[in-house]
Amino acid sequence: MASVQDITVGAAVNVLSAVVFLVAFAILRLQPINDRVYFPKWYLKGIRGSPTRSGAFVSKFINLDCRTYIKFLNWMPAALRMPELELIDHAGLDSAVYIRIYLLGLKIFVPIAALAFGVLVPVNWTGKTLETIKDITFSNIDKLSISNVPPGSKRFWAHLVMAYVFTFWTCYILYKEYRIIANMRLRFLASENRRPDQFTVLVRNVPPDPDESVSEHVEHFFCVNHPDHYLTHQIVYNANKLAKLVEKKKSLQNWLIYYQNKYERKPDKKPTTKTGFWGLWGQKVDSIDYYTAEIEKLSKEEVAERERVISDPNAIVPAAFVSFKTRWGAAVCAQTQQSSNPTIWLTEWAPEPHAVYWNNLAIPYVALTIRRLLMAVGLFFLTFFFMIPIAFVQTLANIEGIEKVFPFLKPLIEMKVVKSFIQGFLPGIALKIFLIVLPTILMTMSKIEGFTSLSTLERRSAGKYHLFLLVIAFLGNIIAGTALQQLHTFLNQSPTEIPKTIGVSIPMKATFFITYIMVDGWAGIAAEIVRLVPLVMFHIKNTFLVKTDRDREQAMDPGSLNFYTSEPRIQLYFLLGLVYSVVTPILLPFIIVFFAFAFMVFRHQIINVYDQKYESGAAFWPDVHRRIIIGLIISQLLLLGLMSTKGAEQSTLVLIALPVLTVWFHRLCKGRFESVFVKYPLQDAMVKDTLERATEPHLNLKAYLQDAYIHPVFKGGELERPAAIDEEENNPLVATRRSSQRGSKYGSGENSDNGV
Amino acid sequence: MASVQDITVGAAVNVLSAVVFLVAFAILRLQPINDRVYFPKWYLKGIRGSPTRSGAFVSKFINLDCRTYIKFLNWMPAALRMPELELIDHAGLDSAVYIRIYLLGLKIFVPIAALAFGVLVPVNWTGKTLETIKDITFSNIDKLSISNVPPGSKRFWAHLVMAYVFTFWTCYILYKEYRIIANMRLRFLASENRRPDQFTVLVRNVPPDPDESVSEHVEHFFCVNHPDHYLTHQIVYNANKLAKLVEKKKSLQNWLIYYQNKYERKPDKKPTTKTGFWGLWGQKVDSIDYYTAEIEKLSKEEVAERERVISDPNAIVPAAFVSFKTRWGAAVCAQTQQSSNPTIWLTEWAPEPHAVYWNNLAIPYVALTIRRLLMAVGLFFLTFFFMIPIAFVQTLANIEGIEKVFPFLKPLIEMKVVKSFIQGFLPGIALKIFLIVLPTILMTMSKIEGFTSLSTLERRSAGKYHLFLLVIAFLGNIIAGTALQQLHTFLNQSPTEIPKTIGVSIPMKATFFITYIMVDGWAGIAAEIVRLVPLVMFHIKNTFLVKTDRDREQAMDPGSLNFYTSEPRIQLYFLLGLVYSVVTPILLPFIIVFFAFAFMVFRHQIINVYDQKYESGAAFWPDVHRRIIIGLIISQLLLLGLMSTKGAEQSTLVLIALPVLTVWFHRLCKGRFESVFVKYPLQDAMVKDTLERATEPHLNLKAYLQDAYIHPVFKGGELERPAAIDEEENNPLVATRRSSQRGSKYGSGENSDNGV
Per-residue pLDDT tens over the stretch B67-116? 666 666 677 777 778 888 888 888 888 889 998 999 999 999 999 999 99
A:637-656 residues touching chain B, CB 8 A cutoff:
none
Across the interface, whether the CB atoms of B339 and A494 are under 8 A apart is answered: no
Map residue B206 onto helix, strand or coil. Answer: coil
Across the interface, whether the CB atoms of A342 and B668 are under 8 A apart is answered: no
Nearest CA in chain B to A343: B672
* Residue A230 near residue A322 (C-beta atoms within 8 A): yes
Please state the rounded mean pLDDT for residues A509-516: 82
Specify whether the backbone of A617 is left (phi greater than 0), alpha (psi in -120 to 50) or beta. left
Band (A400; pLDDT cuts 50, 70, 90): low
Nearest CA in chain B to A664: B373
**Residue B109 pLDDT:** 94
Percent residues over pLDDT 70 in chain A: 77
Buried/exposed A507-524: b ≥16 CB within 10 Å, e otherwise: bbbbbbbbbbbbbbbbbb
Is B346 in the A-facing interface, judged by CB distances under 8 Å? no
Which one of B188, B322, B337, B690 would you mutate to disrupt binding with A, by most A Cβ within 10 Å of its Cβ? B337
Q: Does A370 score more than 70 pLDDT?
A: yes
Q: Does A289 score more than 60 pLDDT?
A: yes
More confident residue, B431 or B308: B308
Band (B129; pLDDT cuts 50, 70, 90): low
Is B492 in the A-facing interface, judged by CB distances under 8 Å? no
Nearest CA in chain A to B661: A373
Contacts of A372 in chain B (CB under 8 A): 667
**Residue A165 pLDDT:** 93
Is A682 in the B-facing interface, judged by CB distances under 8 Å? yes
Across the interface, whether the CB atoms of B335 and A331 are under 8 A apart is answered: no
Q: Does B582 score more than 50 pLDDT?
A: yes
pTM (two decimals): 0.79
Q: What angle is formed at CA B507 by the lines to CA B506 and CA B509, rounded to 5 degrees?
A: 70
Q: Which one, of B525, B529, B527, B509, lies nearest residue B594 by Cα?
A: B525
CB pairs under 8 A between A and B: 113
Percent residues over pLDDT 90 in chain B: 10
Instruction: Give A167 to chain B, closest Cα distance, Å.
Output: 18
More confident residue, A524 or B164: B164
Instruction: Give A418 to chain B, closest Cα distance, Å.
Output: 44
Of A342, A369, A681, the CB nearest to B340: A681
pLDDT (tens digit per residue) in B271-296: 777 766 666 666 777 777 888 888 88
Please state the rounded mean pLDDT for residues B225-233: 86
Band (A112; pLDDT cuts 50, 70, 90): very high
Measure the CA–CA gap between A709 and A203, rounded to whole angstroms. 13
Is A340 in the B-facing interface, judged by CB distances under 8 Å? yes
CA distances in angstroms from B708 to A345, A394, B198, B726, listed in the order given: 34, 72, 12, 13
Q: Does B54 score more than 90 pLDDT?
A: no
Instruction: Choose the most confident range, by mean pLDDT, from A284-288, B136-140, B692-696.
Output: B692-696
Of A228, A342, A682, the CB nearest to B336: A682
Contacts of A649 in chain B (CB under 8 A): none
Q: Provide CB contacts within 8 A for A6, sequence distance 6+.
A: A419, A420, A423, A424, A511
Measure the CA–CA gap between B264 and B322, rounded to whole angstroms. 51
Is B54 in the A-facing interface, judged by CB distances under 8 Å? no
User: Which of the 8 DSSP states describes residue A3?
Assistant: -
Nearest CA in chain B to A374: B664
Map residue B543 onto helix, strand or coil. Answer: helix
Q: Provide CB contacts within 8 A for A411, sequence distance 6+.
A: none
Of A186, A494, A671, the CB nearest to B340: A186
Instruction: Choose the most confident range, by mean pLDDT, from A44-58, A177-191, A724-738, B716-730.
Output: A177-191
* Residue B646 near residue B587 (C-beta atoms within 8 A): no
Q: Does A740 score more than 50 pLDDT?
A: no
Across the interface, whether the CB atoms of A672 and B365 are under 8 A apart is answered: yes
Instruction: Give A261 to chain B, closest Cα distance, Å.
Output: 57
Across the interface, whether the CB atoms of A342 and B671 are under 8 A apart is answered: yes
| Beta strand A316-324 pairing with A230-237 | antiparallel
Is A107 in the B-facing interface, judged by CB distances under 8 Å? no
Q: Which one, of B616, B606, B562, B678, lies nearest residue B188 by Cα?
A: B616
Nearest CA in chain A to B675: A342
Mean per-residue pLDDT of chain B: 77
Instruction: Give B496 to chain A, closest Cα distance, Å.
Output: 6
Of B338, B372, B683, the CB nearest to A681: B338
Is A223 in the B-facing interface, judged by CB distances under 8 Å? no
More confident residue, B429 or B692: B692
Of A224, A335, A496, the CB nearest to B496: A496
Of A337, A373, A660, the CB nearest to B675: A337
pLDDT (tens digit per residue) in B555-569: 777 777 788 888 888
Instruction: Choose the most confident range, by mean pLDDT, from B314-323, B337-346, B523-532, B619-628.
Output: B619-628
Of B225, B668, B672, the CB nearest to A682: B225
Least confident of A111-125, B184-198, B397-411: B397-411
Of B373, B497, B668, the CB nearest to A664: B373
**Residue B718 pLDDT:** 41
Of A343, A664, A674, the CB nearest to B672: A343
Instruction: Give A529 to chain B, closest Cα distance, Å.
Output: 38
Task: Give the up-direction half-sphere exposure of residue B260: CA atoms within 13 A in the CB hemisphere.
Answer: 12
DSSP string, A58-120: GGGTS---THHHHTTTTHHHHHHHS-HHHHHHHH-HHHHHHHHHHHHHHHHHHHHHHHIIIII
Is A98 in the B-facing interface, judged by CB distances under 8 Å? no
Contacts of B331 in chain A (CB under 8 A): 336
Across the interface, whether the CB atoms of B343 and A672 are under 8 A apart is answered: yes
Q: Which one, of A115, A114, A107, lies nearest residue A158 by Cα?
A: A115
Q: Does A405 score more than 90 pLDDT?
A: no
Is A384 in the B-facing interface, judged by CB distances under 8 Å? no
Instruction: Give B31 to chain A, closest Cα distance, Å.
Output: 48
